Amino acid sequence: MNKEKSYGKSTACVHSGNYKDEQEHGVVTPIFTSTAYDYENVEYMAYPRYNNIVNQRVVAEKIKSLEDGEDAMVFSSGLSAIMTAFFTFLKQGEHAVLQRDIYGGSHHALSRECEKFGIELTFVEGYEKQDFYKAIKENTRLIFIETPSNPLLKIVDIQKIAELGSQQIVTMIDNTFASPINQTPISLGIDIVMHSGTKYLAGHSDLSCGALISSKDLMSRIRETAISFGGLLDAKSCYLLERSLKTLDIRVKRQNENAGELALFLEDHQKINKVYYPGLKEHEGHDVAKIQMSGYGGMLSFEIEGDASQFIGHLQLIARAMSLGGVESTICLPTETSHSKVSPEERQAMGIQDNLVRMSVGIENSQDLIQDLKQALEKI
Q: Could you tell me what percentage of the chain is helix, strand and coil, using 3-state DSSP and rounding each to the nearest 5?
A: 40, 15, 45
Closest approach of ligand PLP to the CB of residue 355, in Å: 22
Least separation in angstroms between CB 206 and ligand PLP: 13
Distance CA 264, CA 278 (A): 12
Tell me whether residue 177 or residue 311 sits nearer to ligand PLP (CB atom).
177
SS3 call for 332: strand
Q: Which is nearer to ligand PLP, 334 or 372 (CB)?
A: 334
Check residue 191 for interaction with ligand PLP (CB under 6 A).
no
Sheet holding 299-304, edge to edge: 272-276, 299-304, 356-360, 330-332, 319-320
Residue 298 binds ligand PLP (CB under 6 A): no
164 CB burial (10 A radius; 0-12, 13-18, 19+): middle
Which lies closer to ligand PLP via its Cβ, residue 159 or residue 208?
A: 208
Interaction of residue 199 with ligand PLP, rule CB under 6 A = yes
From 38-46, 121-129, 195-203, 277-285, span contacting ligand PLP (CB under 6 A): 195-203
Between 105 and 189, whose beta carbon lies closer to ligand PLP? 105
Contact 149, 119 (CB under 8 A): no
The span from the CA of 153 to the CA of 279, in Å, is 10
Site for ligand PLP in 136-165 (CB under 6 A): 146, 150
210 lies in the binding site for ligand PLP (CB under 6 A): yes
CB-based contacts of 274: which residues, under 8 Å, 6+ apart? 302, 303
Query: Looking at 114-122, 196-204, 215-223, 369-377, which segment touches ligand PLP (CB under 6 A)?
Result: 196-204
- Cα–Cα distance between 323 and 360 in angstroms, integer? 8
Question: Taking CB under 6 A as the criterion, which residues in 95-124 touch ligand PLP?
Answer: 103, 105-106
User: If binding is defined by CB under 6 A, does position 51 make contact with ligand PLP?
Assistant: no
Nearer to ligand PLP, 253 or 358 (CB): 358
Could you tell me which stretch among 31-39, 51-59, 117-125, 193-201 binds ligand PLP (CB under 6 A)?
Answer: 193-201
Nearer to ligand PLP, 12 or 324 (CB): 324
Terminal Cα distance for the chain, rounded: 54
CA-wise closest residue to 129 among 176, 90, 97: 97
199 vs 339, beta carbon nearer ligand PLP: 199
x/- site string to ligand PLP, residues 60 to 99, per CB under 6 A?
-----------------xxx--------------------
CA distance 330 to 200: 13
Distances (CA, A) of 335 to 228, 250, 374: 36, 32, 23
**Residues forming the site for ligand PLP (CB under 6 A):** 77-79, 103, 105-106, 146, 150, 174, 176-177, 196, 198-199, 208, 210
